[in-house]
Amino acid sequence: MTFLAIRAQIAGHMLTAAGCVVVIAQLWSLPVAAQSPLQHSQRRQGLDASKPLALPQDPPIVGRLLNGTAFFVDQSGSMLTARHAVDHCARIVIVKEQHRMQARIVALSVKYDLALIKVSKTLGLAAVFPRGTVAAANEMVFANAHDALPRMRDAGVLANSRVERDGSEPGHLIIDSPVTYGASGAPVLDKHGLVQGVISRRTRLDRVLAVGLAETKAFLAANGVDFEQDDRPQVSPFTPSAERAASISAHVTCLTN
Amino acid sequence: MRRQYGELIRSPSSSSRRQAIAAACALLALVSAAAAAQTSPFRDPASAPPSWTQFAKLVKYRFEEWLGADDAIAARFRVYLKAHAGASDGPPPKLIVQAWVSPDGSVERVSFPALGDAGATKDLTTILSSGNVGEHPPPEMLQPIRLRFSLGAVK
């Protein structure tokens, strides 16, 4: 009698569990496909083969978190990041050291994976862009997710990526780089500490696309951002690039409904 | 998921407190008007290499952060400023701070004219020497770095 009751109870639990799996599977698949800004931006741009570098933090059921990087471009709290890292967000939160601030979208680029967002004040330094000096083929540059910078700063990393120039991606800077999830929107810094591009997505194991310098500056200018330009070195040759990257950038979190 | 979402969104009380702190900092107007690397020989900001200017800007930012920090010493110093601003024995409207930054980026020493209150002078010295600016100073940069702060009158 007891044995049969236990069997019936187990069977009941199994049925309940199976039902939950079905419900969770539905909750899991439908909202993700419907809500992920990554997939929206991919479809619009026809970039199905490539892989955006904003990090989905948790398996989503109701909402979703995306983690990327943004950096300051003026003294009044304007920041650049990747469009796919902040598009379709219910809320955008910037985290830098002990600060946590809500950001709003000012502009989204139609053609490139760029977004201009704004917080109440600039934390740290604003980026400096070259006037005309573009990174040459095989030049070593630096880029990484904001969260990875302390580790790289401690290691004294001067550069971690190499510029490739093959003309296959107009408007973009192609780099051979180890950057991974969370790096979307990160600045690509040259040896002088100048921003050469904005990390967008990985297209191959050894190939990352960043929106190019001219396109980035044109986007900022079109939106009235008073950004600084200078071809002179902004850092000492011995300054680890991760230090300057940390001084200008912040973690950006996109919360979707 | 819900737990992490909750962590990202601060409670209203925490938010209000931080806003109050931020407002207090803004009222104090502890803003550096100029940053220059200076010693003998003097280099004004216009002729200094951009890497020096950028580093001085970073030091200025850190000093502002530390002055507005949510700790007992910084809070006590802000209370002193608020209570004595504009008074004959109060802090000067502008304060020149000289800072020496060690090769690892930590503030080694600061120097400024005494404020007329030994406790406040000690507090400001402690605050400005309290941390690391986050970058190594350019090795060739002349030190001390000279920063000018405006201590806004707050009543």
CA dist A105 to A68, A254, B29, Å? 15, 11, 28
Task: Tell me the chain B residues in contact with residue A133 when contact means C-beta distances shorter than 8 Å.
Answer: none
Phi, psi of A161 (to 5 degrees): -140, 155
Is there a contact between A235 and B54 if contact means CB atoms under 8 Å apart? yes
Search chain B and give the residue with CA nearest A127: B54
User: Which of A60, A124, A239 shows the shortest C-beta gap to B61?
Assistant: A124
Residue type, A41: S
What single DSSP character describes residue A183? Answer: -
A16 and A87 assigned to the same domain:
no
Cβ–Cβ under 8 Å, residues A126 and A227: yes
**Has residue A46 been placed in a domain?**
no
Question: Is residue A244 less than 8 Å (CB to CB) from chain B?
Answer: yes
A142-149: average pLDDT? 96
User: Which of B9, B10, B134 shows the shortest C-beta gap to A243?
Assistant: B134
A11 and A55 assigned to the same domain:
no
A29 and A139 assigned to the same domain:
no
Question: Is residue A228 less than 8 Å (CB to CB) from chain B?
Answer: no
A9 and A90 assigned to the same domain:
no
Given pLDDT bands bounded at 50, 70 and 90, which one contains residue B102? very high
Is there a contact between B139 and A236 if contact means CB atoms under 8 Å apart? yes
A174 and A73 assigned to the same domain:
yes
| Contacts with A176 (C-beta within 8 Å, 6 or more apart), sequence order | A161, A162, A164, A206, A207, A208
**Has residue A88 been placed in a domain?**
yes
A197 and A245 assigned to the same domain:
yes
Considering only CB atoms, which residues of chain B are within 8 Å of chain A? 1-2, 4-5, 8-10, 49-51, 54, 57-58, 61, 134-141
For residue A178, the enclosing domain spans 51-256
Q: What's this model's pTM, rounded to 2 decimal places?
A: 0.76
A17 and A58 assigned to the same domain:
no
To the nearest whole Å, the CA of A170 is away from the closest chain B CA by 31
Flag whether pLDDT at B38 surpasses 50: no
* Per-residue model confidence as pLDDT tens digits over A160-181: 999 998 888 999 999 999 998 8
Whether ipTM tops 0.85, in short, is no
We report the CATH number of the domain holding residue A151 as 2.40.10.120
* Per-residue model confidence as pLDDT tens digits over A85-128: 999 999 999 999 989 999 999 999 999 999 999 999 999 999 99
A156 and A118 assigned to the same domain:
yes
CB pairs under 8 A between A and B: 69
A24 and A119 assigned to the same domain:
no
Q: Quote the number of domains for chain A.
A: 2
